[in-house]
Amino acid sequence: MSEKFRIAILGIGGVGGYFGGKLAVYFANSKTVEIIFIARGENAKALKENGLKVITTQSQLIAKPHLVSNDTNEIGVVDLFLICTKAYDLEESIVKFQDCIGEQTAILPLLNGVDNSERINKIVPNAEVWKGCAYIASRLIEPGIIKVDSAIKLLQFGSSEGNKEKLKLFEKLLKSAEINVEFKNDIDKTIWEKFIFISSLATLTSFLDTNAGGINSSAENQKLLSDLITEVTNLAKVKKINVDDNIAQITFERIKGMNGEITSSMHSDFQKKGKTELESLTGYVVKESESLGLAAPNYQRLYTELKKR
């Protein structure tokens, strides 16, 4: 087995491409760290031929990982498995790359949603699964090219039960690659506060088929937004997540202050008539609220309507 610390990134899109790209550039000639991009099709072809180009508002970089592959035999067992796919591809991805997960492997999902770790552990019960989230606006604009539009490029992660040494090592590696990273002792609070924002915004933009401006220009839409935020915040509190007391107001003001042209990725997916993260971002709130005897009438109504689409 390799003596290198092997990091595999699955999902070389906006999130995986940016963080994986920064790691691949910094550790390109490393004798102790190996970066692997898991990709297929045209994206894999472009990555192998030209590397990954990451364009930010300030600069651009070309990243060439140690390996680009979709073959579990070629990839082998890794030390850290960074999952940056869409939430609806999670189970299929874990099953497909299960052979890359060994006793020493830690898994870090950076997906939308709050139940990713639980979903992973259902498939690989003994695996060490961390929790994390990313704050970044970036996308794959063509095979092998990532465009980053946001000033904020932040990765937050943590684990109450994970290997402390490995957690500290990963934080150190990220900082070495000049990635803005925060280790969170209460990662559930962090993930849920982001979820309250994403879930309410994604649900309402998709339902109304509009952007932030369409929500903020109507008193009726703002009222519905406020009701959604209240329902998902209530769920967090019933689940005993230590969210800020004023998180509902913070979230509402944050969406109110957004550039009117901005929309959610789920809304964009609905517009493309492709797969969406409806179950992770909206259905989860409905089903969890129901199981806990908690009223969420607005989430229920919008979820029922969105399922028909």
Residue 1 confidence (pLDDT) above 60: no
CATH 1.10.1040.10 intervals, the chain: 189-308
Residue 152 confidence (pLDDT) above 70: yes
CA angle 270, 276, 280 (to 5 degrees): 135
In the predicted model, what is the mean pLDDT of residues 167-185?
Answer: 97
Confidence band, pLDDT 50/70/90 cuts, at residue 3: confident
Residue 37 confidence (pLDDT) above 90: yes
Distance CA 215, CA 96 (A): 40
Residues with Cβ within 8 Å of residue 22, at least 6 apart in sequence: 54, 61, 63, 177, 178, 179
- For every residue of 20-59, DSSP letters joined together read HHHHHHHTTT-SSEEEEEE--HHHHHHHHHH-EEEE-SS-
Pairing of strands 128-129, 101-109: parallel
Confidence band, pLDDT 50/70/90 cuts, at residue 27: very high
Is the alpha carbon torsion for 276, 281, 282, 283 positive or negative?
positive
Whole-number Cα distances in Å, 63 to 59, 67, 293: 13, 11, 49
Tally of CB atoms within 10 A around 122: 10
Which tens digits make up the pLDDT trace of 241-289? 999 999 999 999 999 999 889 899 999 999 999 999 999 999 999 999 9
Please report, rounded to a whole number, the percentage of residues in the chain having pLDDT higher than 90.
94
Please state the pTM of the whole predicted model.
0.94
> What single-letter DSSP state applies at residue 146?
E
CATH 3.40.50.720 intervals, the chain: 5-185
CATH of range 5-185; options 3.30.1490.20, 2.60.40.10, 3.30.70.330, 3.40.50.720 = 3.40.50.720
Which tens digits make up the pLDDT trace of 122-145? 999 999 999 999 999 899 999 999
The whole-number pLDDT of residue 240 equals 97
Q: 189-308 — its CATH code? A: 1.10.1040.10
Torsion from C-alpha of 15, 19, 22, 27, nearest 10 degrees: -140
